[in-house]
């Protein structure tokens, strides 16, 4: 079973995989979307599809299109840490 640190490693690696800047270091505070974002909208979809595949392997369905996900102030896509925490939360609840 993975802990939050392992989930962060997985999510951070997937962010790096879809990002155009393969040399950047991804941390919890790395912004994902917006003016300072690391990835664009196409990369975001690729990232979510990749995380869906990982979730299936872990035995759950990753919901990345919820109302909370799309909220500007509470979005799981605000930064890499938020996405990791939400992925981990959904996995633990299933």
pLDDT (tens digit, 9 = 90+) per residue, 54-64? 999 999 999 99
Which pLDDT score, from 0 to 100, does residue 24 have?
83
Would you state the pLDDT for residue 69? 59
pLDDT digits (tens, 9 = 90+) for 68-90: 655 656 789 999 999 999 999 99
Cβ–Cβ < 8 Å for 84, 4: yes
Compute the Cα dihedral for 32, 23, 20, 44 and give only its sign: negative
Whole-number Å distance between alpha carbons of 80 and 71: 16
């Amino acid at each position: 079973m993975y802990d939050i640190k392992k989930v962060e490693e997985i999510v951070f690696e997937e962010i790096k995989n879809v990002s155009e800047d393969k040399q950047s270091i991804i941390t919890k505070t790395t912004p994902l979307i917006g003016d300072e974002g690391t990835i664009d909208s196409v990369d975001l979809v690729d990232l979510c599809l990749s995380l869906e595949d990982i979730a299936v392997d872990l035995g759950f369905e990753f919901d990345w299109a919820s109302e909370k996900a799309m909220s500007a102030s509470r979005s799981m896509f605000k930064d890499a840490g938020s996405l990791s925490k939400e992925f981990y939360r959904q996995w633990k609840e299933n």
